[in-house]
A and B are shown apart, each in its own frame.
Chain A
Amino acid sequence: RSEAGGEMADTIADTRRLFSKPQNLNDAYGPPSNFLEIDVSNPETVGVGRTRFTTYEIRLKTNLPIFKLKESRVRRRYSDFEWLRGELERDSKVVVPPLPGKALFRQLPFRGDDGIFDDSFIEERRAGLEQFLNKVAGHPLAQNERCLHMFLQDESVDKTYTPSKIRQA
């Protein structure tokens, strides 16, 4: 009795792995190409009286080619974050995550604490801003927006800029 040819006769599927190129050792053990770290730290309150506001240091380290600088350090205030969020919501197709609260009630007079300059509030806000930036900066579509790069790496935010998309060099 001869075996009918080919697959018809076999009831067991061939489950051996498909062939793949062995991985280059450089790729396996080298630094990953997706390194992106953003820290929001060192809150500083500047100004006097009613014109006081708090700025935060934003430190960025990366090896992603889309960022012009592989390391950068800038200072931004909460309203700059609000501006960035607005720009991204309008121009990109990204569902932008929320910012930590505006806490307007903290700006009312006759509070028992330091209002928006209260240490624990600033810390809460700092953590929320860091979470926001990490979520946004890693988004491939957000990375195409000029406003994100200006916010993260330019000396200051020019709100009169012309919105545009970044193309990889």
Chain B
Amino acid sequence: LHLHTLPVMSFFSFGQSAEIDIVLNDAETRKKAEHKTEDGKKDKYFLLYDGETVSGKVNVTLKNPGKRLEHQGIKIEFIGQIELYYDRGNHHEFVSLVKDLARPGELTQSQTFDFEFIHVEKPYESYTGQNVKLRYFLRATISRRLNDISKEMDIVVHTLSTYPELNSSIKMEVGIEDCLHIEFEYNKSKYHLKDVIVGKIYFLLVRLKIRHMEIDIVKRETTGTGPNVYHENDTIAKYEIMDGAPVRGESIPIRLFLAGYEMTPTMKDINKKYSVRYYLNLVLIDEEERRYFKQQEITLWRKGDIVRKSMSHQAAIASQRFEGSSSAEKALAQAQAKEQEQ
């Protein structure tokens, strides 16, 4: 009996394999953004915006030089997908683009392939949440009969907005009848992520022994639809605005800088799968630890970076607002003149 030598198959370690590397063309100049992964770690990824072209190269490096790599085709995909943690198997792809890089054949040496996805729609912002994840990534695949070789490269997408035309303040009188009446006011209803919440709490009637007042920022992530809606609340910040007992006629100022907190823009009904909303929760606590609160939704949006004015011009604007005096106006005019000269 003769024993036949079987053709070498790729699941034995002495077959041919390859390493894939995806590189963006503008990797040197493109900004990176920090993004949290599911296990809480922070990492940096290339930052892309809606409508931008995604172009680059796929480098295929053969592991054993000299040996051929047979394949059923090489392609690259740009994918945007939503993954609900309670339904891991199902990825909802809302963007799916593919470019073929090579027809079925064989590679005899390492090779580089160019790709370009023109004006790619990226309608939603990348998001890693408590129960849902939305991510964008490039995936290069070498198809083979038994097992594909693929490589993924995650990218982060930010959605930008401009200053809203309508941005009314929030002003409301709330309380417990004959017990506690307050009027709260927040200067806007829509804030960008580096904005400042300027507001005040005015006490109209105080028949309770209030000891302390704070503002909490609450993030609510909603997943699922219909009867299976699930809300996950997370208090992102607690900011004390008053320590002690207020009386009638007292006004407590609020100045809360949002840049210090990790927040995303407000996301409403993303691809009909999830929402992320933010609320200001005003909490009053009395001497017996009883809590009285009023929650109010605010809209958060992401502002694009704009060219900064000179430091002296910025300082002049700030001081004019603070003093409103003629000397400050002079300083502002001087700084403006200097800017125009440059």
Contacts and interface: CB of A to CB of B under 8 A. Distances in A.
Interface of A: 1, 3, 7-18, 20-21, 23-24, 27-28, 30, 32-34, 36, 64-66, 134-135, 138-140, 143, 168
Q: Which of A18, A64, A65 has the most CB of B within 10 A?
A: A18
Most chain A CB within a 10 A radius of its CB, from B178, B200, B314? B178
Contacts of A23: 249-251
A13 to B, nearest CB: 4
Given A18-B187, A18-B200, A33-B206, A11 B308 contact: yes
Give the dominant DSSP class at A's interface: loop
A4 to B, nearest CB: 10
B185 interface: yes
Contacts, number: 90
A17 B187 CA distance: 10
B163 to A, nearest CB: 5
Interface stretch (B27-35, B54-62, B118-126, B282-290): B282-290
Contact of B317 (A12, A28, A33, A140): A12
A165 to B, nearest CB: 12
Contacts of A135: 288
7 contacts: A11-B308, A13-B196, A23-B251, A27-B249, A64-B207, A65-B207, A139-B290
B176 A12 contact: no
A27 B287 contact: no
Given A18-B185, A34-B209, A13 B195 contact: yes
B322 interface: yes
Contact of A33 (B200, B247, B336): B247
Contacts of A8: 162-163
Contact of A10 (B245, B317, B339): B317
B144 to A, nearest CB: 53
Contacts of B317: 10, 12
Contacts of A14: 198, 321
B140 to A, nearest CB: 40
B206 A20 contact: no
